[in-house]
Amino acid sequence: MKLMELEIKNFRGIKSLQIKPHGKNFLILGPNGSGKTTIVDAIDFLLTGEISHMKGNGTRGITLKKHGPHVDSAPEDSIVKALVKLPGIEDPVEIKRSPNHQRTLICDEAVKKKIKPTLEMAKRGQHVLTRREILNYVNADSSTRFKQIQTLLKIKDVKETRKALVKVKNALKNEYDAATSSLNSIKTAIIFKTGSETFNEEKIILFINNSRKILGGKPINQLNASILKEDIVAPAFIRDNNINTELLGEDIKNVRKIISDEDLGIFDLELRGLKAKLYSNPHLEDAVDGLKLTRRGLELMDVDKCPLCDTPWAPGKLKDHLKNKIKTFEAAAHDLDRITELLNELKESADNVKVNLKEITKSAKILELENESEKLEVWMDDLERFSSLIESETYLNPDFTHRRVEVLLAPDDLSQILDKIYSAASINSPKPSMEQTAWDNLTRLEDNLKAFEAADKEERLSHEAYKKAEILLNSFLESRNSILDDLYNEIKDRFVELYRQIHGDEENFDALLVSDGAGLDFKVNFHGRGVNPPHALHSEGHQDTMGICLYLALAEHITEGYIDIIILDDVMTSVDAPHRREICRLLAGYFKGRQFFITTHDRTWANQLRTEGVINTRQVVELYNWNIETGPSVSSHGNIWDGIENDLIAHDVSSAAFELRRGSEEFFRSACDLLQAEVIFRDNGRWGLGDFIPAALSKYKELLKKAKDAANSWGNRDEVLRLKEIDDHSRDVFERLNVERWALNTSVHYNNWAEFTVEDFRPVVDSFKDLFDVFQCPQCDGMLRVSGRGEQADNVRCNCGAVNWNLDKKP
């Protein structure tokens, strides 16, 4: 899509403006505050229904319907309208939009389908570059840069997929951890009930068979809840609400023993001290994180390849490297391992109390001791919370002071509670027989084994699900990185090519643009001294050119065939004049077919754009004298001749003379630069028209003579004749202006022009017009330039190639 005409009415700071780019590059010149950005906003709004800088942080309360129209206009009176050329449609089509209905693009129904891909592309924002966006490309952190570029590349769904897969993996990991914790708690209960030190199936089966033997049952050889009471019957005298006081007594004894263990207080104090030491020191905290990561990497490594970046290592070297790295964290490793030991000790004590407490609470409820039951349940809840809280970094909770942990959170009147429950049970339940105790042991174990079998199955299934999610995420990341890195490499290569074109002194410049987890890493080479972030060593001007080159590389990759408009909104703030000229040449030479829409307040940059052929001299408007009632004043004299003619019509010869002098100095300054003319050095740095014109004229004659000599050496008669016609014409122009004698005599310089009449001054203007034409291509209006430097110069040409004088003689 290209912009042919643009009309703005009552929009932002503009009351009424019409410009006609005709699908060509266009320049808007004017000081800050003159309305340049409003024109950019108008194009942005027309294509997207939004204004990019009115969104995001700090824009709360700003709405397009309220703040899009001119402050003195209603939304329905505000409109942006354009004629655009769309691919596949021969004639330009009209589109328009109003802040009153910002989501609705007004156009013919037949056009909507054709323009839809263009509008979708525009919503990514790749048609506008401002100074703010440059910083997002170059100096932002990797995450911000990735967000900016992923929107442009339309790969946001890739990030969302990654987030979803990470979320699923983390959720399944949490489920697996919870299942493992639940399984371990049940194992602890079984260990405690069977008197084993570890979860040993042989010892547990032996305990079961001892109880079965008392009840007349045969031994079993597998740990299975369904056969635990196989071929045995309950003692005849058992009651539903019977409490086995022997087992209750053992439960109470176990609880008393655990909470009276003096080591609990010692463990608690040591754990608090170690956690405070580690997590109050950032360096130690980093060491702990590094240690955990390295240990995890060692666990995941099953081949000689890094589990994080997939870099291959020589056999055995990676494992040795990780082990040596762990040694560097020796102090943190010792503390971390001790923390793990203390956590296990305290959690195991809490789990053991919970095993016995569950049975004691059950007895209290059978005995209908409501007050005691409630206190024990509160204790059980405290133990659950304690087990999870001690895993946290700080392990500080006002509810769980050191004194409370010393008795493992037990209520102060625990001894009375336990005594009352046992006494009530002894009164209400007869002393159990050996058979009764054996049956009750099996009953308890039966419940525990059922829970164990369910938990074991849940743990295995959750582990399988977690591992599948991990494999899926890793496969996705591997594929994503491979595909995106290929894409980034294409963009990077083009970026490097464009940057080298601007900065010829950095011929070995290279860059790195690669995926970095959830971000995008961007680093550049600095004169062969290593790869660093752009703002580490390069100047602000170099960073700006990097941002421009990266943006152009992205625009070229993304928008081809959809949006051929590229808006550069005052992006040259920190770029010096020589590099601005190289950017002009870059735009003219590398992006033919694109329509650049450029705003600037800098006349030097504007002049370079014209002289380098990026902007046709007729494709310029200048904004000035903005005021709130009328908006900016507009001068559409894209070249000096229209302005001079307007002055002469108004009989203002003085203004016309000043305009001719100023424009001629700018023009011939550029001509001297492009033709490599020798201008007399002045220590004060003040050169005028009398310096530039003779130098440019002398160099032009010299180059034309070289071109004729070269054509003669090759026997190219047609070229000789063509160059002779050019020579004859230029000689006629020079003689009519009598420029040599005029240029050498400063007494008849422009100062006397102001005294001329209109009739006297018109011939001067016409002569200068013809003089300008000598140094320009008649087809593209681009100025003639020398290719190569000094003796290596090989031709004189224009931007489009219509002018091409060969300077190399036949050997």
pLDDT per position as a tens digit, 314-328: 656 666 666 666 665
Does the pLDDT of residue 725 top 90, yes or no? yes
What average pLDDT is seen over the chain?
Answer: 81
**Average pLDDT of span 713-719:** 93
In 629-652, which positions are buried (b, 16+ CB within 10 angstroms) versus exposed (e)? eebbebbebbbbbbbbeebbeeeb
Task: Count how many Cα atoms sit within 13 Å of the Cα of residue 335 in the half-sphere of its side chain.
Answer: 19
Handedness of CA 679, 683, 689, 694 (dihedral sign): negative
What would the pLDDT profile of 470-485 be if each residue is shown by its tens digit?
A: 888 888 877 777 777 7
Q: Give CA 752 to chain center in angstroms.
A: 60
Beta sheet of 631-635, edge-to-edge order: 128-130, 565-569, 595-600, 26-29, 620-627, 631-635
Q: How confident is the model at residue 31 (pLDDT cuts 50, 70, 90)?
A: confident
Q: Which residue in this structure is represented by tokens 């000598």?
A: 774
What are the domain boundaries of the chain? 2-127+559-638, 244-432, 653-806
d(CA 771, CA 734) in angstroms, rounded, equals 7
Q: Collect all residues with Cβ–Cβ distance below 8 Å to 44 and sequence separation of at least 6.
A: 50, 51, 52, 127, 128, 567
d(CA 572, CA 337) in angstroms, rounded, equals 57
**Average pLDDT of span 195-216:** 89
Handedness of CA 359, 364, 367, 370 (dihedral sign): negative
Question: Which helix (H) or strand (E) segment is 265 a member of?
Answer: helix 263-279
Read off the tokens for 63.
Answer: 């709405």
Taking residue 198's Cβ as centre, other Cβ atoms within 10 Å add up to 7
- DSSP 8-state class, residue 423: H
Does the pLDDT of residue 24 top 70, yes or no? yes
**Average pLDDT of span 32-56:** 85
In the CATH scheme, what is the code of domain 2-127+559-638? 3.40.50.300
d(CA 679, CA 670) in angstroms, rounded, equals 12
Q: For residue 454, what pLDDT is reported?
A: 92
What would the pLDDT profile of 63-103 be if each residue is shown by its tens digit?
A: 888 888 988 889 899 999 999 988 778 889 999 999 988 88
Q: For residue 745, what pLDDT is reported?
A: 38
Does the pLDDT of residue 285 top 70, yes or no? no
Q: For residue 673, what pLDDT is reported?
A: 85
Q: How confident is the model at residue 744 (pLDDT cuts 50, 70, 90)?
A: very low
Q: Is 521 exposed, middle or buried (0-12, 13-18, 19+ CB in 10 A)?
A: middle
Q: Is 403 exposed, middle or buried (0-12, 13-18, 19+ CB in 10 A)?
A: exposed
**Average pLDDT of span 417-445:** 88
**Average pLDDT of span 29-56:** 85
What would the pLDDT profile of 359-371 be if each residue is shown by its tens digit?
A: 899 889 988 999 9
Least confident of 19-33, 167-181, 268-282, 537-551: 268-282
Q: Which long-range contacts (CB under 8 A, 24 or more apart) does 151-160 make?
A: 151/124, 151/125, 152/124, 152/125, 152/126, 152/554, 152/558, 153/487, 153/554, 153/558, 154/124, 155/484, 158/480, 158/484, 159/518
Identify the residue with better confidence: 324 or 741.
324
Percent of the chain with pLDDT over 90: 18
**Average pLDDT of span 123-136:** 59
Does the pLDDT of residue 213 top 70, yes or no? yes
| Amino acid residing at 139 | N
What would the pLDDT profile of 98-124 be if each residue is shown by its tens digit?
A: 998 888 899 888 888 888 877 876 776
Q: For residue 509, what pLDDT is reported?
A: 92
Percent of the chain with pLDDT over 70: 82
**Average pLDDT of span 707-725:** 93
Read off the tokens for 17.
Answer: 């403006």
Q: How confident is the model at residue 244 (pLDDT cuts 50, 70, 90)?
A: confident
**Average pLDDT of span 198-210:** 90
Q: How confident is the model at residue 29 (pLDDT cuts 50, 70, 90)?
A: confident
3-state helix, strand, coil in the chain (%, to 5): 60, 10, 30
Identify the residue with better confidence: 459 or 658.
459
Identify the residue with better confidence: 391 or 5.
5
**Average pLDDT of span 403-421:** 87
Q: For residue 735, what pLDDT is reported?
A: 83
Q: For residue 726, what pLDDT is reported?
A: 93
Q: Which residue in this structure is represented by tokens 């229904």?
A: 49
Q: For residue 83, what pLDDT is reported?
A: 92
Between strands 14-19 and 631-635, the pairing is: unpaired
Q: For residue 464, what pLDDT is reported?
A: 93
Q: Whole-structure pTM over 0.75, yes or no?
A: no
Q: In 3D, which of 577, 619, 623 has the Cα closest to residue 600?
A: 623
Q: How confident is the model at residue 373 (pLDDT cuts 50, 70, 90)?
A: very high
Q: For residue 775, what pLDDT is reported?
A: 93
Q: For residue 518, what pLDDT is reported?
A: 57
Identify the residue with better confidence: 652 or 639.
652
Q: For residue 305, what pLDDT is reported?
A: 56
Q: For residue 137, what pLDDT is reported?
A: 57
